[in-house]
Amino acid sequence: MSAATLSPTVPTITVKADPKIGLRGHLRHTGALIRRNLLWIKQDPESMMDAVLMPIIFTLLFVYVFGGSIGRALGGGQDAYVQYVIPGMIAMMSMNIAQAVGTGFNEDFNKGIMDRFRSLPIGRGSVLVAKIAVELARLVVAMTVQMIVALLVGFHINGHWAGLVASMGLSALFGSAVMWIFLVLGVTMKNAQSVQAMGFLVMMPLQFGSSIFAPTTSMPGWLESFTKYNPMSGLADAARGLMTGGPIAHGLTVTLVWTAGLTLVMAPIAIRKFTRKS
């Protein structure tokens, strides 16, 4: 005769975040969540593979596959293309890494991790800000790896070290704004594959319809007009000016306007959808 043990069903109790949580409370919660996310990366180092391998693969691919032909069009061969494309690829990293925050956020929801967070009396924005902070750290790692590879393939700083640091900071700033878009996708899409697919639909036109990989002067007029106000072109041109000594005013203005606009619009939407998601 066998006996079956029945476990009582325990209802999930949702505790609303205290609306009176102050700035210190939000900062404390954000710090604790950042530590939790970093410990997760430490336990799963494979999650850093995209940040480490992607900049190596993309840099080698574009320099050695397209460097000769596009470099000749620039009037200097592969060396000229290296000087042109590396700042653009610093800009590209900001969007590529930003996509990961959406897929990771969606997976946390599907695993029930976010339900656990939402049952705690913590600031809802702290959960999202902590995710962005950790992804920015991964972005810094990706850009550092990329610059090491860039120096190995012949990129010349020519004394523009401050410009290099400024371009990386600008890329991180814009990347943080783009991450709010992917957080919204992470909350609203059903699975990580859908987030990734939607991300590519956003990323591909912005990246390839820009000045990241090639000058825009040979593009059709309508596409050249699009690239002029494309945030990826603005970021690439600003980084190129900072790292090689060219003009930066237009690119910097376009980047900062897009950064402010995306943050002001998408951050409240992401927090609201995260709070109300059932």
Structure confidence by residue, pLDDT tens digits, 141-183? 999 999 999 999 999 998 899 999 999 999 999 999 999 999 9
Dihedral through CA 254, CA 56, CA 191, CA 17, nearest 10? -60
Task: Confirm whether 76 is domain-assigned.
Answer: yes
Note whether residue 139 is domain-resident: yes
**Full domain range(s) for residue 112:** 32-276
| Residue 270 maps to a domain | yes
d(CA 78, CA 55): 18
pLDDT of residue 28: 79
Rounded to the nearest 10°, the torsion over CA 222, 215, 170, 53 is 110
Identify the sign of the CA torsion 96, 98, 101, 103: negative
Q: What's residue 21's pLDDT?
A: 67
31 touches 23 (CB < 8 A): no
On whether residue 4 sits in a domain, the answer given is no
Cα 10 from Cα 169, distance rounded (Å): 48
- Is 184 within the bounds of a domain? yes
Q: Is residue 165 part of a domain?
A: yes
Does some domain include residue 6?
A: no
The secondary structure of residue 210, as a DSSP letter, is S
pLDDT (tens digit, 9 = 90+) per residue, 266-276? 999 998 888 77
Return the percentage of the chain with pLDDT > 70, whole number. Answer: 86
Supply 143's token pair: 């850009």
pLDDT band at 117 (very low <50, low <70, confident <90, very high): low
Q: How many domains does the chain have?
A: 1
**Average per-residue pLDDT in the chain?**
84
- 67, 164 contact by CB (below 8 A): no
The span from the CA of 100 to the CA of 103, in Å, is 5
Domain assignment present for residue 2? The answer is no
Output the six-digit token pair for 25: 């409370």
Which tokens is 16 given? 């609303």
Question: Which ranges constitute the DSSP H helices of the chain?
Answer: 23-43, 49-61, 67-74, 77-110, 113-118, 124-152, 161-188, 192-208, 221-229, 231-244, 249-276
Q: In 3D, which of 86, 214, 91 has the Cα closest to residue 156?
A: 86
